[in-house]
Structure 1
Amino acid sequence: MNRIITYIKHNKIKSATLAVLLIVYYFSLPKQLFKDPTTTVITSSNNELLGAQIAKDGQWRFPQNDSIPEKFKTCIVQFEDEYFYKHPGFNPISIFKALRENLKSGGIKRGGSTITQQVIRLSRKGQSRTYLEKIKEIILASRLELRESKNKILSYYSSNAPFGGNVVGLDAASWRYFNRDASQLSWAESATLAVLPNAPSLIYPGKNQEKLLKKRDRLLTKLLINQIIDSLTYKLSIAESLPQKPYRLPQIAPHLLQKASHTNHGERIRTTIDVKLQERVNHIVKSHYNQLSQNEIYNAAVLVLDVKTRQVLAYVGNTPTDKVHQKDVDIIDKPRSTGSILKPFLYAAMLDAGDLLPHTLVTDVPTQFGSYNPENFNKTYDGAIPASRALSRSLNVPAVRMLQDFGLDRFHHYLKTLQLKDLKYNANHYGLSLILGGAESNLWDLCKSYAALSSTLNHFSETSSEYFTNEFCEPTFLASETIDFGDKTRDKTLFDAASIYLTYESLKEVNRPESDESWEFFDGSKQIAWKTGTSFGFRDAWAIGSTKDYVVGVWVGNADGEGRPGLVGVQTAAPILFDVFDLLPNSNWFSKPFDEMQEIDVCTLSGHRASPNCDAIEQKFIQVSGLKTTPCPYHILIHVDKNESFQVNSSCEDLGNITHKSWFVLPPLMAYYYKTKNPFYKPLPKFRSDCIGSNTVSMAFIYPKENNAIFLPKDFDGKTNDLVLKIAHSKPESTLFWYLDNTFIASTKDIHDLAIIPKQGAHIITVVDEFGNEAKRKITISE
């Protein structure tokens, strides 16, 4: 040590020069050797290639891969650099032999470069091949040997060597020339790829087959001589044919590849996709597309989520249509009209808030809110229907009336908490049409929301009745990510578990497509909570379903928004939904969240909490918040004669002959439609004629609706059709008096229908019954 210090003191210039040279040598090698753009590559959960997107410079250049198959590693070392594991980055003997041969020939006939030197040359692309450049390569190669392991240097070479055309690197070459992963290549295939970088422009698969074959077979012979392969392997290898032309890379999940490239461009991405499931879902979508396209319906999308991990298991962004019909558009994250797909969230919100019990009767009659006139899909009405059945049948009028009762702003708040990113405006912008497709959302967000509801139920039953703070989180398609559901809490995240469970119980009863009409009678059939939706103008068809383990979402339509007859959720999207669920394992049904429920007496007919007047009562589990709902308002106590034919009182009947009877009575307009679907509904008996006093009467217009603009068509003979006025009265036998603009026009009894032909313009229709009760309607007649 003292000698070194003494030497430096006496040779300062030399020492400084040496120090500078060492520093220059140390920093001579760039930290990142290769900066070329790379292909975006996605693989399945078990690392099978799903697809790749060509690099920005038009090259198939997969990202750096440090894992090199042993066969290729052996072949490339034997062919390019037999002393690779022994030299320090350059081989003096090879350099001397190359120099001697080049001097004799008067040109560059032999390179003498090691694999390490070739890595340096590849990284310094564009440099002329001169002796000065060769010296630089030697210096940089030795520096690379000091910095990296031999395996790392081999990985640099295999990932960046040219393999002909626009194919760079072993991984891309393996797929382009042999349609399989490099780890699955045979000895002959590995040898073929090992000789290609030596002269990629001269030897290209499908061309110069004889030269390529000779090079490959010479390498295989060398492997035999060096006892790396046995004679049988050698014979089988030389019998293998050469690749004739490049294969197309797999495109099993092309739209997921697009999505991944936006955030992870040029990277190798291991996804959560189950490749077998993805391929089978692709097949289902293609099969349905072949049928749907006959009706000029060209696009569809399917998303499958694992509820427990929130991972994407299958991602089909579109059908295999053509560019004219926008096959490259990823529909999964595009905003589309929601149709009825948001109805379960309203039902759950009303249960959660304690505004409703699962089977409470809700009103289903012709309804108008200002200029907004919602209608049921089948144009019929039930008068009154249990809320759960209104949801399972996806009736529009009850849904709009429920939203009106619940509050538009209140429901809008729930939807914003679901983080539906396409819900961009305030509640008043959407109005009551919000529940029927007035808003837009996308398949990703909707599936995410249904998965969050299912996961809430799972976690509640698994964690001693607790919730998680981050339940409504984003799903992931990245295998490297693990979803953090947040901290446990006793407080609900959005909906309580009971409200979700009761919502799912209703959705489980939705009628399946025609081919599955009797699904509930088959042993082992899947229990699925599912909902369809159809947007206005038949532009969007939805179907989303959930089991305890999986959520499947389907959208069908045209990417350009063109509507088509028959583009209905239950007819087009639901069959795809159930075909996909048939691929998935059966799941047990959700556990009942007893800690959020209470068993009470419920009126069998009305679905309300039972009142003292209810004569048919069932024990039902309801959500705890439902305890504050009102008791049954439809059962009243009346006094009838022994035959229950008439109402009586003490003025006309002895007290001993009077029977006290509970009677189910609906308001007139509800009753008018209810009895058409419920033939056993018995209207309130009349008072016997000899009795003094009467029950309260009420009446309501059936048609026309309030502020209705009416067009009266003409027959072929030019005669204007009648306007038929209809009214419901609690005592149909009463006489009603009709007025048009305060002018008496007619009276009716028993059947309260009246045909008139009013003049063009605004009118007021007034109806007065014999008890003095009055009803009015404003209408406008147009031509």
Structure 2
Amino acid sequence: MKITDYIKRHKKKTIVLVVLLIFYAFCLPKDLFTKPTSTVITSYKGELLGALIADDGQWRFPHNDSVPEKFKTCLIQFEDEYFYKHPGFNPISIFKAFRQNLKAGKVKRGGSTITQQVIRLSRNNRDRTYFEKLKELVLATRLEFRASKEKIIAFWASNAPYGGNVVGLDAASWRYFNRKPSELSWSETATLAVLPNAPNLIYPGKNQDKLLAKRNRLLKKLLTKKVIDSLTYELSILEGLPQKAYAIPQIAPHLLQKINKEKKGEFVKTTINKKLQTQTNTIVKNHYNQLSKNGIYNISVLVLDVKTRQVLSYVGNAPTDNKHQKNVDVIDKPRSTGSILKPFLYAAMLDNGELLPNTLVADIPTNFGSYQPENFDKKYAGAISAKLALSRSLNVPTVRMLQSFGLEKFHHYLQKLQLKDIKKSAEYYGLTLALGGAESNLWDLCKSYAAMASTVNHYSENSSRYFTNEFSSPTLYADKSIDFGAKTSEKIIFDAASIYLTLESLKDVNRPNAEENWEFFDSSKQIAWKTGTSFGFRDAWAIGTTKDYVVGVWVGNADGEGRPGLVGVQTAGPILFDVFDKLPNSTWFEKPFDEMTKIEICNKSGYRATDICEEKTLEFVQNAGLKTKPCPYHISVNVDESETYQVNTSCENLENIKQKSWFVLPPLLEYYYKKQNPFYKPLPKFRNDCLGDVKNTMKFIYPTEKSTIFLPKNFNGKQNELVLKVAHSNNDAILYWYANNTFLGTTKELHSFAIQPKVGEYNFTVMDNFGNEIHQNISVKH
């Protein structure tokens, strides 16, 4: 009989059958298990770094399809020996269980297969009635149609109860044996295979001997089935049961919290190197133990791989206490930058052709209205190379360079670096922008240092080409690779040569020992590094890069409290080098020759050499360096044969006059420069018998700009003096001092004059005996 004929003759039966089939097809929920799961993170090798307990208070790791073969064997031998042969239920087992329970008058034995147990687990272990068993049987057969046998075992392993608040094989393995399931012994695996049958037996004092007997019976069965040999069996039964629950590893707790915000309840493989993370944790703990004695409680460290832009180590905070914000992840929190932005200004000026590495820049007392920047040691070099000013982190040259370069222009560069915490306008920050007037975070800063290093790497490796997405954010996820974009001949932010020269300026780890401000570090590794200290000693920074790695360190107090000694080089610097000691050595960056030009440099001034510069060196500089102005500090002068005096034909025969190139700094720069440079020769004065113009120049040392000066009282209650200072190019000059056209007195050689002015506005005039004069206006307040 045809099917169509049968349907016509038995319409009601057919409808009922179709309804049943439809019901059967859709009776199984799409998602069997919907309870919340723990957020779990691992290293790039799959090693557990940490986990957060699920929202319902259970240690329930996310579903894992990977079940060790050893565990599958134990589970099947204990729970369902015919698992791979039945369609979801085992009629023989059901019949035996029914007969035994009928004789006993109560349920003593279950005939459930692993598939049925999965269904029961998904239905929250409802009461074991015969009707419920029938439902489980139907749903189990449906599950067999939907999922493979391996998938069903994975469902069981991920959701079986293991006592207390432990659910699933992965969580149980870590809680009871402190390692992942694939590393368990036969004895340990057998324990976890039998435990869900009676999960309360795991706790000491609660009939653990019953659990031991169950385990050993399973091991005996494995021996009988020749799954294990006799030696393995004998050793296995000697192993004891776990007596306590281990804490889940928390190797990167702040990273775990960060990922939990984005991928809550998921299993996440990160880019973290577990060994390096553990070593960094130890380094941070050791330094915390010392720094906490000085009331410094928080530390964060970030390590990046330059080539892949992956995060290798993430320490969000020191192992402090709740009182000192233990749970605050400082890595992405805005903090005052101190001097850590100075390399970006240096690179920007190189990139714009406004500077060469050894160009002398002014380091003298400076006022910009009411703003008076000072160097850390409150000393001045007069003139210092830009490269050395950067490596010594001098504030005054930096501010003067920023003012010369342009505040808006530098602010634009920082915006292109995508430092997200620099949100205000350039005018809001003012000239403090390069000294800590702005805020940034360790993540963005390390990202920028890594991008600069990577720019040089890529330029050298890709036939002098850049990548359009070079300054991208690092990644924490092992399954995500950074797309650096398309190749281009155009620079992205800084050209490769400017970056290379900046890194060259930062790489000397044996820094000059300027009083207590600098320390010596091992120079066996070539590392370009920079420190920073914020105003009030609230933030200490150290960020360093090699060709392969970037390490960033922040030290301070999360609540913003400043502490004496909280200085970048003293607190953050040692941590940075301890971390670098755990990283492989790197070769230095290749010089980007296509972005560089070899030119003559004046040795003394660092500018492009002119014909009258007597000492020159051929150096590779950035191509934009060709736009820099030539040396302004060398002049040709006529001197006598002894080079003691300047002369001219009015006082000396032409054949006795020598024309000599002389390195001459402006008076104010010269005043400080010659203190630091004993071989500096001031310009000789004219011999007394010579006629003609004699150039004599002078300039105020203090005050250097129109400013408001506050004169507090001293300990004796007397008003402090105001000491005026002037530098003059002629040591024999006599200066005449006036205040608001009132004569004050004269000075010779050392030109300083102390007065006790009243509150008010003053115009100071200083005139020399050659008729030159200078003026300075100030306001005095008490």
TM-score normalised according to structure 1 size: 0.97
CA displacement, residues 391-441 of structure 1 (integer Å, 9 cap, x when unaligned): 010000000110101111111111111111111111111111010001111
Superposed counterparts of 1:172-183, under 5 Å: 172-183=171-182
Question: 1:250-289 alignment to 2 at 5 Å?
Answer: 250-289=249-288
- Stretch moving more, 91-100 or 493-502: 91-100
Query: For 1:341, what is the secondary structure of its paired residue?
Result: coil
Contact 2:685/2:730 (CA < 8 Å) preserved in 1?
Answer: yes
How far apart are 1:780 and its partner, in Å? 3.2
1:742 matched to which residue of 2? Answer: 741
SS state at 1:542 partner? strand
Q: Hey, what's the Cα distance between the residues in 2 that align with 1:379 and 1:402?
A: 18
The more displaced of 443-452 and 75-84 is: 75-84
Aligned residue in 2 for 1:373: 372
Question: Is 1:241 paired with 2:244?
Answer: no
Give per-residue Cα distances to partners, 1:155-203, cap 9 Å, x unaligned. 0000001100000000000000000110011111111111111122354
Change in CA separation of 1:538 and 1:686 when aligned onto 2, cut-off 3 Å:
same
What is the CA distance between 1:98 and its match in structure 2?
Answer: 2.2
Name the stretch that deviates more: 466-475 or 319-328: 319-328
Alpha carbons of structure 1 residues 781 and 248: separation in structure 2 relative to 1, 3 Å? same
Alignment correspondent of 2:407: 408
Question: Do 1:355 and 1:406's aligned partners in 2 also have CA atoms closer than 8 Å?
Answer: yes
Any conservation in 2 of the 1:448–1:472 contact (CA below 8 Å)? yes
Deviation per CA, 1:445-481: give whole Å up to 9, x if none.
1111011011111111111110000000111111101
Whether 1:517 aligns to 2:520 is: yes
Moved more, 77-86 or 700-709: 700-709
Match of 1:150 in 2: 149
Structure 1 residues 452-467: aligned runs within 5 Å: 452-467=451-466
Post-superposition CA distance 1:275-306 (Å, at most 9, x none): 11111111111111111111111111111111
What residue in structure 2 maps to residue 727 of structure 1? 726
CA distance in 2, matches of 1:329, 1:373: 35
Cα–Cα, structure 1 residues 127 and 351, in superposed 2: closer, same or farther, change >3 Å? same
CA distance in 2, matches of 1:300, 1:207: 45
Shift of 1:225: 2.3
Look up the equivalent residue of 1:181 and give its one-letter code.
K
130-139 or 711-720, larger mean C-alpha shift: 711-720
| Alpha-carbon distance between aligned partners in 2 of 1:439 and 1:148, rounded to the nearest angstrom | 57
Contact kept, 8 Å, 1:510 with 1:531, in 2: the verdict is no
Q: Distance in 1 between matches of 2:20 and 2:512?
A: 80
RMSD: 1.6
Residue type of the partner of 1:150?
A: K
For residues 595 and 479 of structure 1, the distance between their equivalents in structure 2, rounded to whole angstroms, comes to: 35
Contact 2:160 2:168 in 1 (8 A): yes
Separation in 1, partners of 2:594, 2:123: 69
Q: 2:135 aligns to what?
A: 136
Residue identity matched to 1:776: H
Specify the alignment match of 2:55 in structure 1.
56
Separation of aligned partners in 2, 1:717 and 1:426: 45
Structure 1 residue 510 displacement after superposition: 4.8
Q: Are residues 195 and 15 of structure 1, via their aligned partners in 2, closer, same or farther at CA, if it must alter by over 3 Å?
A: same
Q: Which amino acid aligns with 1:392?
A: S
- Per mean C-alpha deviation after superposition, the further-off stretch among 47-56 and 104-113 is 104-113
Give the aligned partner of residue 775 of structure 2: 776
Task: Give the Cα separation in 2 of the matches to 1:655 and 1:259.
Answer: 81
| Identity across matched positions, percent | 69
Question: Is the Cα contact below 8 Å between 1:737 and 1:746 reproduced in 2?
Answer: yes
Change in Cα spacing, 1:734 to 1:701, as seen in structure 2 (3 Å) is same
Residues 236/458 of structure 1: CA separation in 2 closer, same or farther (3 Å cut): same
- Give per-residue Cα distances to partners, 1:330-371, cap 9 Å, x unaligned: 111111111000000100000000011111000100011111
583 and 773 in structure 1: CA distance in 2 versus 1, 3 angstrom threshold: same
User: Equivalences for 1:566-645 in 2 at 5 Å?
Assistant: 566-645=565-644
Change (3 A) 1:627 1:548: same
User: Which residue is 2:290 aligned to?
Assistant: 291
1:768, CA displacement in angstroms? 2.1
Structure 1 residue 73 and structure 2 residue 72: aligned? yes
* Structure 1 residues 590 and 288, CA gap change in structure 2 (3 angstroms): same
* Unaligned 5+ runs, structure 2: none
Distance 1:214 1:303, change over 3 A: same
SS at match of 2:86: coil
Assess if the C-alpha contact under 8 Å between 1:206 and 1:244 holds in 2.
no
Deviation (angstroms), 1:212? 1.5
Give, in whole Å, the separation in 1 of the partners of 2:754 and 2:673.
24
Do 1:206 and 1:243's aligned partners in 2 also have CA atoms closer than 8 Å?
no
Q: Distance in 1 between matches of 2:651 and 2:695?
A: 18
Counterparts of 2:655 and 2:157, CA distance in 1: 104
Query: Residues 667-678 of structure 1 correspond to what in structure 2 (within 5 A)?
Result: 667-678=666-677
Q: Distance in 2 between matches of 1:724 and 1:516?
A: 34
Distance in 1 between residues matched to 2:512 and 2:195, nearest whole Å: 56
How far residue 223 of structure 1 moved from its aligned partner, in angstroms, is 1.8
Secondary structure in structure 1 of the residue aligned to 2:570:
helix
2:545 counterpart residue number:
546
Deviation string 1:587-632 (CA, Å, 9 cap, x unpaired) is 1110111101011111000000011221111111110111011110
**C-alpha contact 1:38 1:62 (8 A) present in aligned 2:** yes
Partner of 2:2, secondary structure, is helix
In the alignment, is the contact (CA less than 8 A) between 2:370 and 2:708 conserved in 1? no
**In structure 2, what residue type is equivalent to 1:81?**
D
Q: Does 1:436 align with 2:439?
A: no
Question: Who is 1:342 aligned against?
Answer: 341
CA contact (8 A) 1:302 1:315 kept: yes
User: How far does the alpha carbon of each residue in 1:624-649 deviate from its partner, in whole angstroms, 9 at most, with x for none?
Assistant: 11101111000011111111111111
Given that 2:392 and 2:511 are in contact with CA atoms closer than 8 Å, whether structure 1 keeps it comes out as no
AA in 1 matched with 2:426: A
- 1:766 aligns to what SS in structure 2? strand
Decide whether aligned partners of structure 1 residues 615 and 254 sit closer, same or farther in structure 2, where only a CA change above 3 A counts: same
CA contact (8 A) 2:537 2:565 kept: yes
Q: Closer, same or farther in 2 for the Cα pair 1:33/1:697, shift >3 Å?
A: same
For residues 423 and 749 of structure 1, the distance between their equivalents in structure 2, rounded to whole angstroms, comes to 50
SS in 1 for 2:705: coil
CA distance in 2, matches of 1:625, 1:716: 55
Query: Shift in Å at residue 109 of structure 1?
Result: 2.4
> Using the alignment, how far apart are the partners of 2:66 and 2:7 within structure 1?
46
The answer on whether the counterparts of 2:510 and 2:521 sit within 8 Å (CA) in structure 1 is no
- Larger mean CA deviation between 333-342 and 202-211 belongs to 202-211
Structure 2 CA distance, aligned partners of 1:728 and 1:39?
72
Judge conservation of contact 2:540–2:572 (CA < 8 Å) in 1.
yes
| Conserved 8 A contact 2:79-2:113 | yes
Q: Return the letter of the residue paired with 2:9.
A: H
SS of alignment partner, residue 116 of structure 1: helix
Kindly provide the amino acid, as one letter, of the partner of residue 199 in structure 2.
P
Query: Is the 1:119–1:153 Cα contact (8 Å) retained in structure 2?
Result: yes
The residue type paired with residue 107 of structure 1 is K
Aligned residues of 1:741 and 1:763 also touching (Cα < 8 A): yes
Match of 2:363 in 1: 364
| Deviation beyond 4 Å, 4+ runs, structure 1 | 512-516, 713-719
Asked if the contact 2:392/2:512 (under 8 Å) is kept, the reply is: no
Q: Which amino acid aligns with 1:598?
A: T
> Using the alignment, how far apart are the partners of 2:492 and 2:717 within structure 1?
64
- The whole-number CA distance in structure 2 between the counterparts of 1:376 and 1:517 is 20
User: 1:74 offset after TM fit, Å?
Assistant: 1.2
The worse-fitting range, judged by mean Cα deviation, of 726-735 and 176-185 is: 726-735
Q: CA deviation at 1:722?
A: 2.8
Contact 1:513 1:574 in 2 (8 A): no
Q: Distance in 2 between matches of 1:586 and 1:655?
A: 63
8 Å Cα contact 2:735-2:767 kept in structure 1: yes
- Distance of 2:222 and 2:616 partners within structure 1: 87
- Give the TM-score of the pair, scaled to structure 2: 0.97
Structure 1 distance, partners of 2:93, 2:713, is 102
Q: Per-residue deviation at 1:205?
A: 5.2
Separation in structure 2 between the aligned mates of residue 628 and residue 277 of structure 1, nearest angstrom: 45
Distance 2:519 2:700 in 1: 40
1:503 matched residue in structure 2: 502
1:171 aligns with 2:170: yes
